[in-house]
Amino acid sequence: MSRLHAFAKEGARYFGASAAALAVDFGTFMGLHRLAGVDYRIAAPIGFSLGLALIYALSIRWVFSQRRLKNARAEFVLFASLGIAGLLLNQAIITVGMEFLALTDWMAKAASAGVVFSFNFASRKFLLFTRYS
């Protein structure tokens, strides 16, 4: 399998896994915020964290064919650290969208999802799931 084909396959799988993680994230966010009345600044990281747990499990079991680190704990710490960076980006985009651009909650979350997806895939692929040459 060519490198490009393998990259495209992993990208497609990561997209599917991310869609599942986003459904958990978005559903939790909206359920907590709209149905339970939880402040969006609290609901967003809860949803994001549940999505993070799902995407890690899918990434190591289904998405990526290679793993750079042999130590699973170190791998998870780096994976989660990248997720936290994504969470900070998520929070910033949602806050700017809702507080300064007057976007609705779902519009701000949707804008965040695209940016955070790109950041997460690229950083995880190249830092965790690509062999050293």
pLDDT tens readout for residues 2-32: 888 888 899 899 999 999 998 999 999 999 9
Across all residues in the chain, what is the average pLDDT? 92
Per-residue CA distances from 56 to 96, 111, 133 (Å): 27, 22, 24
Position 133 scores a pLDDT of: 58
pLDDT surpassing 80 at residue 101: yes
C-alpha–C-alpha distance, residues 119 and 66, integer Å? 19
Whether 129 and 68 have beta carbons less than 8 Å apart is answered as: yes
Q: Check whether 54 has a pLDDT greater than 90.
A: yes
What distances in angstroms separate CA 111 from CA 5, 53, 64, 80, 83, one per listed residue?
A: 29, 21, 26, 22, 17
pLDDT band at 85 (very low <50, low <70, confident <90, very high): very high
Query: How many CB atoms are located within 10 Å of the residue 38 CB?
Result: 16
Q: What is the pTM of this model?
A: 0.74
* CB neighbour class for 21 (10 Å; exposed up to 12, middle 13-18, buried from 19): buried
